[in-house]
Amino acid sequence: MSRRVLILGAGFGGLELSTMLSDAFGGDLEVTLIDKSDAFVFGFSKLDVMFGRTTPDAVRLHYRDIAKPGVQFLQETIAAIDPETRQVTTDAGVHEADVLVVALGADYDFDATPGLADGGNEFYTESGAERLAEIVPTFSEGRVVVGVCGAPYKCPPAPSECALLLDDALSERGVRDSCEISFVLPLGRPVPPSPETSAALEAEFGKRDITFIPGRRIRSVDPARSVAALDDDTELPFELFLGVPRHRAPDVVIASGMTEDGYVPVDSATLRTRYPGVYAVGDVATAGVPKAGVFAEGAARVVARQLISELRDSERPGPYDGRGSCYVEFGGGRVGRVDIDFLSGPTKTGSFNAPSAALVAEKEHFGSSRRARWFGT
Ligand SMILES: Cc1cc2nc3c(=O)[nH]c(=O)nc-3n(C[C@H](O)[C@H](O)[C@H](O)COP(=O)(O)OP(=O)(O)OC[C@H]3O[C@@H](n4cnc5c(N)ncnc54)[C@H](O)[C@@H]3O)c2cc1C
């Protein structure tokens, strides 16, 4: 078997794909996995770090621990992708591939929201979450705006979770009464495909006196006046701004010419791009599913099954079903779950599982099982 599979990005998508290919072929297939970082961090760990439930070091899963037969991990920064020739240039050299899989995730476009970089904090990067872990425990009085600067963004429930966990943190310190929390979301409801999940979150906002402003996005932040401007020109003054930056594909993907409207279009059944031998999975692609780790992982599995069936000349697998379950933190240590199905039926659906102790354990298992499967730790 002489095919070389080159996977760009070792996030949810890249890790799952390389693991499945190693499980199937061991050392008989040449799989190269490239990432600029030295470690993977689950998205939800950023909220854990921000609210002091863990430390930044404890949530870093080091790529040096990957020991998968047939998989070589390279810590390199991708500088150029040629999808026609499947040639990739990094800061360390040039890689050629028979099969190229782009799994580079979504990046943040701070410049798209004037003032955000100077006047606001964000909790979507490791460094942003670490900075907030210092700030949140000292904040005792004033107005907080949790604001999303544009859709689509990763993990639709995460900003709602941030607002609820912030309410917890301020209440535990006995300063909640001297603080106000507003939550600005470009979506009409917190989790649009699941009215029940949305209703449960909205009820929680109501109980906790969190002002929910749906259908609006943060247009700009004025650091001098400490004011956030919404897209309808409303102004919200703040003492603390917690933002979700606008997202788009990484610059190197945009420069490759593969994107349309900021992301890589794919056939949602197969995750194939318009370039032969080139796939795109996860947040970097437009596959008709939300931007979340579980969907990146599900898409990667579909690509893995196709490659396995091609290489073994066996029965072709079924199409990507766009199904995934997301855990939702409701505050007070409670965890619910929403089961999303975006592609298998005639309409998008999302069913709600109310918070329970079993779901707290299930979320823990979600993380630990992937740590074991991808990193052997
Ligand atoms: C606060 C928060 C909470 C979240 N909670 C959840 C949750 O509970 N459940 C869930 O399913 N999802 C959650 N998510 C979303 C989830 O983290 C992402 O959707 C998921 O990581 C996407 O996987 P991916 O493989 O597409 O990309 P990523 O996991 O983002 O991986 C992309 C990789 O590409 C690498 N890369 C990018 N550019 C380059 C380059 N030029 N050279 C080399 N490497 C590069 C990056 O370093 C990165 O490792 C959350 C996200 C956030 C921010």
Q: Looking at the chain, how many residues does it have?
A: 377
Within 6 A (CB) of ligand 1 lie 9-14, 34-37, 43-44, 46-47, 77-78, 103-105, 124, 154-155, 158, 250, 252, 282-284, 291-294, 296, 326-327
Which amino acid residue places its CA nearest to atom 30 of ligand 1?
105
48-65 per-position pLDDT tens digit = 999 999 999 999 999 999
- Cα 61 to averaged position of ligand 1 atoms, centre (Å): 13
- Closest approach atom of ligand 1 to CA 12: 25
The two most distant CA atoms of the chain are separated, in Å, by 66
Quick one: which H or E segment has residue 118? helix 116-119
Nearest alpha-carbon partner for 273 in 102, 90, 81 = 102
Range from 323-337, 340-354, 363-377 carrying the lowest mean pLDDT: 340-354
- Cα 209 to averaged position of ligand 1 atoms, centre (Å): 31
Which DSSP letter does residue 320 get? P
259-287 per-position pLDDT tens digit = 999 999 999 999 999 999 999 999 999 99
Contact call for residues 261 and 255 (beta carbons, < 8 A): no
pLDDT at 1 over 80: no
116-173 per-position pLDDT tens digit = 998 889 999 999 999 999 999 999 999 999 999 999 999 999 999 999 999 999 999 9
- Cα 110 to averaged position of ligand 1 atoms, centre (Å): 17
Per cent of the chain over pLDDT 70 is 99
- Cα 296 to averaged position of ligand 1 atoms, centre (Å): 9
Contact call for residues 66 and 370 (beta carbons, < 8 A): no
The residues that bridge with 39 in the sheet, in sequence order, are 62
Which amino acid residue places its CA nearest to atom 26 of ligand 1?
282
Using CA atoms, how far apart are residues 329 and 337, in angstroms rounded to an integer?
9
Copy the structure tokens of residue 369. 């099982």
The residues that bridge with 286 in the sheet, in sequence order, are 265
Nearest alpha-carbon partner for 136 in 103, 90, 168, 98 = 168
pLDDT at 308 over 80: yes
Chain mean pLDDT for the chain: 97
Among 20, 33, 42, residue to substitute to test ligand 1 (most atoms within 8 Å of Cβ): 42
Which amino acid residue places its CA nearest to atom 8 of ligand 1?
44
Which amino acid residue places its CA nearest to atom 17 of ligand 1?
43
- Closest approach atom of ligand 1 to CA 292: 19
Residue 169 backbone zone (phi > 0: left; psi -120 to 50: alpha; other: beta) = alpha
How many C-beta atoms surround the C-beta of residue 308 within 10 A?
17
Q: Which residues contact 321 (CB under 8 A, 6 or more apart)?
A: 298, 341, 343, 344
Cα of 123 vs its chain's centroid, Å: 12
Contact call for residues 341 and 323 (beta carbons, < 8 A): yes
Alpha-carbon dihedral 281, 283, 286, 289, rounded to 10 degrees? 100
- Closest approach atom of ligand 1 to CA 129: 1
* Burial class of 281 by CB neighbour count within 10 A (0 to 12, 13 to 18, 19+): buried
pLDDT at 244 over 60: yes
- Cα 314 to averaged position of ligand 1 atoms, centre (Å): 32
Q: What is the pLDDT of residue 100?
A: 98
Contact call for residues 217 and 179 (beta carbons, < 8 A): no
- Closest approach atom of ligand 1 to CA 295: 11
- Cα 354 to averaged position of ligand 1 atoms, centre (Å): 26
- Cα 362 to averaged position of ligand 1 atoms, centre (Å): 21
Residue 332 backbone zone (phi > 0: left; psi -120 to 50: alpha; other: beta) = left
- Cα 154 to averaged position of ligand 1 atoms, centre (Å): 8
- Cα 329 to averaged position of ligand 1 atoms, centre (Å): 19
Per cent of the chain over pLDDT 90 is 97
Please report which confidence band the pLDDT of residue 2 belongs to, taking 50, 70 and 90 as the band edges.
low
Q: Which residues contact 24 (CB under 8 A, 6 or more apart)?
A: 304, 308
Q: What is the pLDDT of residue 346?
A: 86
34 phi, psi to nearest 5 deg: -120, 135
Contact call for residues 42 and 50 (beta carbons, < 8 A): no
- Closest approach atom of ligand 1 to CA 294: 11
- Closest approach atom of ligand 1 to CA 251: 41
Q: Which residues contact 203 (CB under 8 A, 6 or more apart)?
A: none
pTM confidence score: 0.97
Contact call for residues 290 and 258 (beta carbons, < 8 A): no
Q: Which residues contact 215 (CB under 8 A, 6 or more apart)?
A: 185, 186, 187, 188
Which DSSP letter does residue 316 get? P
- Cα 312 to averaged position of ligand 1 atoms, centre (Å): 31
